[in-house]
Every structure is written in C-alpha cells, then in structure tokens.
Amino acid sequence: MDPTFGFFYHGASTGRGGAMAIDHEEIMRRVAAISPVLERNAGACEMARQVVPESIAAMTSAGMFRISRPARGGGYEMSLTTLAEAVTALSQACPSSGWVLMVAGAHHWCMGSFPAAGQDEVFGEGRDVIIAGTLSWQGSAITVDGGYRIDGRWQFGSGVDNSQWVMLGCADPQTHAPKVHVVVRREEIEIDDTWHVMGLQGTGSKDVVARGVFVPEHRAIDTRMLFRGESPHSANHRTNLYRLSAEAVLSLSVATALLGSAKFALAEFIARTRERRVILTGASKAQHAPTQVRMAEAAAEIQCADLLIHDALAQFDRLSATGARPDLEHRTRVKWQAAYAAELCRRAVTRMFAGAGAHAVYAGNPLQAAFRNIQVGAQHASIDFDSSAEQFSRLRLGVK
C-alpha cells in the first residue's frame, strides 16, 4: 500500500460486513485527494498500456473498488450515483484509471447477484480484489458435473493486468445464445496482448483466452437472470442495490467514464482558448465569435449528457429504494439515455478538437488525447447508438 494514502485504509474503523462506514461526501473527498496522483500518472499509464501500480494502489487504498461491492463481502454497498460520480471525476484526472474503476465497479456490483458461496470465495475475508473481464458472450460454456467448462477468446478485458479475478460472458456453443456469466481466477486464463489502439491505451483492454477452464456452479449465474435483474441471490443483501438490471447498469457505467473525459476536454479548451492568438493578426481567439459559439455548444452538450446520466441514476435510486424489479421499458430507456449521453460527449469533444487549431494534433496535446480517448470509449458495444435508438423507438412506437 502506498503510505501516502494509508489513512484511507478501509480497516481503520468498520461497520456491518467489515466495511468502513462512510458516505457519498467522504468518497468524493477521497476522489479529490487521489486525483493529483492519477493525473500525474496518466501519461505513464498510456505508455505502459495499463494502469500503473501507483495509481492502482491509490484507488485501492482510497476504497474506490469497494464502492459498489456488497457489504457482506467487505464492501461499502453504496449507490450507483456515488460510483458514477467517482468514475467521472477520476476520468477527468486519468481516463484510463477512471475506465478501469468503471469496469471493476460494474463487475463488483454484478457479484451481488451471484450465489453467496461465489461472493464469499471472491471477496473472502474482505481482501482487496479487482475483477476485470468482459461481459459480452464471446466464449462458450458447456454444462458439466458441478459447474461449467469454458472455452474461447474474449476481447476488451479492461484492467486484466491489474486484476485477481476475471468475469466473462459465455454462450451456448450449439445455439450461440447467451448462457452464463462466470468468474475465474486470472491465473486460469491467458492474456493475449492485442491492445494496440488509438485511445484509452492505459486501460490495458487485452484479449483473454480460456482453454477448458472448469468453473464451479457457485461462480456462475444465468446471463438472462443477471441482465434482467432477476437473480434470487440479489435479495440477500442489506439494500436492494443488486436487484437492478445489469443490462442497464453496464450501459450507463460506460457513459459516466466518457462524461469525465468530455469535462476534461472542455476545461482544457477553455484554458487554451483564453491564451490562443490568431497567427496572422495576433487577435485573441477568446474574442472570436465562432470560437465562442463552438465552446457554448460543446458545454451545452456535455451538460445535457450529465443530466441524462443523472436522470437514469435517479431511476436506479428509486428502484433501489422500493425494491421494484426493472421492466423492459426501464432497461430500454436507460440504455438509450446512456448511448445518447455518450454520443453528446463525443460530438462535443470532436467539435472542440476541430476548433483547437493545428497545435492540437501534436501527441503531447491534452485535447488530442481527449479526442482519441472519447472516440475509442464511445465505440463500446453497450452504448451502440444505432441499436439503442432502434430498441427505444420500437418500444415507444409499439413495433413488434
């Protein structure tokens, strides 16, 4: 543990489930405290193509990976709003670190729907863990005595180099329909370093390969049950947090990370525009009306994205408060709001990059990095703009 952040250690005082009793404000205070470390290491993460140890240690010590983790497993079991705001803020400091927190936080939340024995094995004795992986059913699972045998290759295993466990979606090899989601020890799978990409290099989203790995039944859950928020195990917690739809939660999670990158880009654009001069005339760029319009429109798009995300988070909070099950309309609406929020962030950053001048194309320019990162992050399948728009419209129009 990094001694700089030792005072955050979750074992200092504990509440139910062995987790330190903290609130949203305390989490955000910790986020502010570790942000300078993550910001300092952002370039190193990009060069290393994984989040560097110092940044992982800072987030771990500050309890970031416990926000959405069940209290019965040593987590804080806090609202998804708290996780979202932590991810957005840390993505402003380091997009790679924020992305890995987003992915791990979503997977730790998913574990609340797994059988109790699986939760106990993964989170045993309240130890610090990170669950990486990819939830699309790219590999396959065959039912065997006591569990499943999984095989295949999964792309986009964000944070796998930093993890102890990997969560994977598996299809039926005969029908190719989604079957189960499983959790395996990282040492049981192979990491194939395929992550040579234009942005978010520091997420280390490499391929993972499984060859006949046995997964016990208690570390698996039916995919449809998980995605619809219908797991019977989700009721065995002190809150209703784990009774939400994983399909909706995962889509919105991605948008929260992109929002952080967009907010960073806006701050950079404003700061640089204040200093920029037109090369031929020496006039201030800040006095240039088209530049002002470009900035205003980008700011409005980012604000709208923020509002869409928080509206969906408020829906989650209402469902958690009542324990009501999420229906198809809720899942479809949240997925569309997440996809549209992500697209607004992409449009805003693209607009600002186009108006940032020739110097923005240099590798060391923060706006160039933000442009690359937002383009890659917005390609995530869970926030696909076209399919999300189609699903939303078909439901609202009553098209079968």
pLDDT tens digits for range 226-254: 999 999 999 999 999 999 999 999 999 99
pLDDT at 5 over 50: no
pLDDT of residue 360: 85
For residue 71, give its domain range: 3-126
258 lies in some domain: yes
200 and 336 together in one domain = no
Number of Cβ within a 10 Å radius of residue 232: 9
Q: Are residues 307 and 363 in the same domain?
A: yes
pLDDT band per the 50, 70, 90 thresholds, residue 19: very low
Residue-level pLDDT at 12: 38
11: left (phi over 0), alpha (psi -120 to 50) or beta: alpha
Instruction: Determine the Cα–Cα distance for residues 291 and 275; give it in Å rounded to an integer.
Output: 13
* Per-residue pLDDT at 1 exceeds 50: no
Classify residue 235: in a domain, yes or no: no
CATH number at residue 25: 1.10.540.10
Is 285 found in the same domain as 359? yes
Residue 229: inside a domain: no
Evaluate whether residue 237 is within a structural domain: no
Are both 151 and 189 inside the same structural domain?
A: yes
Q: Do 318 and 190 fall into the same domain?
A: no
Q: Which of 126, 149, 184 is the last residue of a domain?
A: 126
Residue at a domain's end among 222, 257, 283: 222
Domain boundary among 126, 148, 182: 126
Asked if residue 173 and residue 310 are part of one domain, the reply reads: no
Instruction: State the average pLDDT over residues 166-192.
Output: 96
Predicted confidence (pLDDT) per residue in 277-288, tens digit: 766 676 777 788
Can you give the pLDDT at residue 75? 96
Q: Give the residue from 39, 316, 42 showing the smallest Cα distance to 202.
A: 42
- For the cut 50, the answer to whether the pLDDT of residue 15 exceeds it is no
**Together in a domain, 154 and 209:** yes
Do 139 and 56 fall within a single domain? no
Percent residues over pLDDT 70 in the chain:
94
- pLDDT at residue 363 in the model: 86
Residue 236 falls within a domain, yes or no? no
Q: pLDDT grade, residue 13 (50/70/90)? A: very low
Residue 292: the pLDDT is 93
Whether residue 21 is found in the same domain as residue 90: yes
Q: Predicted confidence band at 135 (pLDDT cuts at 50, 70, 90)?
A: confident
21 — pLDDT class (breaks 50, 70, 90): low
In this structure, the strands spanning 206-216 and 147-157 are: antiparallel
Does one domain contain both 140 and 117? no
Residues 115, 22, single domain; the answer is yes
CATH number of the domain to which 314 belongs: 1.20.140.10
- What pLDDT, on a 0 to 100 scale, did the predictor assign at position 103? 97
- Residues 14, 80, 331, 309: what is their CA dihedral angle, to the nearest 10 degrees? 180
HEC string of 176-231 equals CCEEEEEEEEHHHCEEECCCCCCCCHHHCCEEEEEEEEEEEHHHEEEHHHHHHCCC
Q: Are strands 206-216 and 165-171 parallel, antiparallel or unpaired?
A: unpaired
Task: Supply φ then ψ for residue 114, to 5 degrees.
Answer: -80, 160
Q: Do 312 and 354 fall within a single domain? A: yes
Please state the domain count of the chain. Answer: 3
81 phi/psi in degrees, rounded to 5: -65, -40
The pTM (predicted TM-score) of the whole model is 0.93
Q: For residue 230, is it within any domain?
A: no
Instruction: List, for residues 59-91, the tens digit of each pLDDT value.
Output: 999 999 999 999 999 999 999 999 999 999 999
CATH number of the domain enclosing 176: 2.40.110.10
CB 39 within 8 A of CB 10: no
Lowest mean pLDDT among 14-28, 120-134, 344-358: 14-28
Is the model's pLDDT at 9 over the cut of 70? no
pLDDT of residue 16: 42
